[in-house]
Structure 1
């Protein structure tokens, strides 16, 4: 039985230091409507999201259109880089991708974030077997989960993601069969 996961990287957000409540920007809200249009043709059965507002806002349109509740899954939140603001973001993020054991003070290593995300993803695969599940999430944690199944999903792939972006992952049980980008 095939289960399809639609990873939705959130649309553009308006920066605030409050990670949990950072909202989508005006262009992000417009792009979220495109996400709804694209996913409305995919026979979606469940909608799950990170607890971050920008992820929820990106997938709430499809949930409303289909009359589905959004299940909030804390483990689909973005990877925490540090317990302080990070200077030289690009250099630090590259180091995180080069060494999955690396982490700054208060940060989450690649392996730690990947394990967290995969545990929740596999729970979703077990709970909604045969379904078409939308997961509103974030670029880094999304690619870490994809990397678990196929190492071609790494730093360069992450750098080239759009906001928003949608990837359909087809599984048989917990074996990844195919990845397909759904253009936004």
Structure 2
């Protein structure tokens, strides 16, 4: 049958900080995720510690009666602790230079390693249907690891929420965007 890891970018939120809550639209999106996954087997839910990620999958976890596990490695990548008016341009640079790091921040390579570490551990676990709730930055870097052609423009096209599946069977890995 194979393993499926669902990578879920959080729903629309009121900000970027750890405690940022979902907007009203984000709350409605979290309920849409319940419908989206209604007929999908999910055995385990693991989330970033950020409230917007947890809140995005809480209704689904309740519906499926699955506890939400927290894994700090699914946290959003910090670009820098310095505010940049041109942060989008700087973020784009980090898609081209994975080792580029700004003051107080994390390089793309560093964030990618921690995200992939989670994926590799899950590929070794017995559960076959796992959902990860995370952020656009980390989702992009995980996708870029498996699909090096994933670029900044692809990050720009992500939605809140967004859902990808990493399907692994017979030594083959395939990534598909499920959210339309």
Answering whether residue 100 of structure 2 is matched by residue 105 of structure 1, we say: no
- Structure 1: which 5+ runs fail to align? none
- Structure 2: which 5+ runs fail to align? none
Partner of 1:153: 150
RMSD: 1.5
Give the TM-score taking structure 2 as reference length: 0.94
Deviations 1:57-77 (A, max 9, x none): 111111111110001010011
How much has 1:9 moved relative to structure 2? 0.4
**Distance (Å, rounded) in 2 between the aligned partners of 1:72 and 1:176:** 28
How much has 1:176 moved relative to structure 2? 5.2
**Distance (Å, rounded) in 1 between the aligned partners of 2:178 and 2:18:** 26
Answering whether residue 83 of structure 2 is matched by residue 85 of structure 1, we say: yes
Partner of 1:5: 5
Give the TM-score taking structure 1 as reference length: 0.92
Partner of 2:116: 118
TM alignment of 1:133-172, pairs within 5 A: 133-172=130-169
**Distance (Å, rounded) in 2 between the aligned partners of 1:122 and 1:40:** 26
Aligned residues: 180
Counterpart contact for 1:149–1:176, Cα < 8 Å: no
Partner of 1:40: 38
How much has 1:118 moved relative to structure 2? 0.7
Return the match for 2:64 from 57, 60, 66: 66
Counterpart contact for 1:55–1:137, Cα < 8 Å: yes
* Poorly superposed stretches of 4+, deviation over 3 Å: none
